[in-house]
Structure 1
């Protein structure tokens, strides 16, 4: 969501970043609270990210110059997954729908 539906306040990246951890997007002007609506697009995006990370992460972890153990490879996979999930929530787009709580 780019703007508040009530007062047209433009949400900043910091506002959207906070909403990742709290699960709620709060307008600073009118204190309206929005929650992410679950949709099929979010499920498809997460499915594509998980599957592509499982197939792409071994490419990054099989570098011949640095020997990596299982835990190091798992950590790299988790970091890649977290990065792409956070990017999906930070960027406002038409697939991310919100419902008004208050």
Structure 2
């Protein structure tokens, strides 16, 4: 996430995931830290698909006390195309290394 060119490539890949017919949704993993980044919107949609009405909001609110964090104040991360003007910005949850083993 600290390298602009790498972050742009990863975000551009996520943008293709959003495209019709794109590959399945997934998390980004920072190979330098092992942290995983999951788009907050995707996580909420996944929970909503698997549960009933109103549950997704409660689950999303429950994740920070369970160890998931958000970068910065709002959880937004921005990628800027190197040498270009395009930007992509989304809200993420950050999942600690081996979180699911706790």
Give the shorter-chain TM-score range. Answer: under 0.3
For CA contacts below 8 A with separation 6 or more, give which structure has more relative contact order. 1
- Identify the structure with the greater helix proportion: 1
- Identify the structure with the greater strand proportion: 2
What TM-score does the superposition give when structure 1 sets the normalisation length? 0.25
What TM-score does the superposition give when structure 2 sets the normalisation length? 0.25
Which has the larger Rg? 1
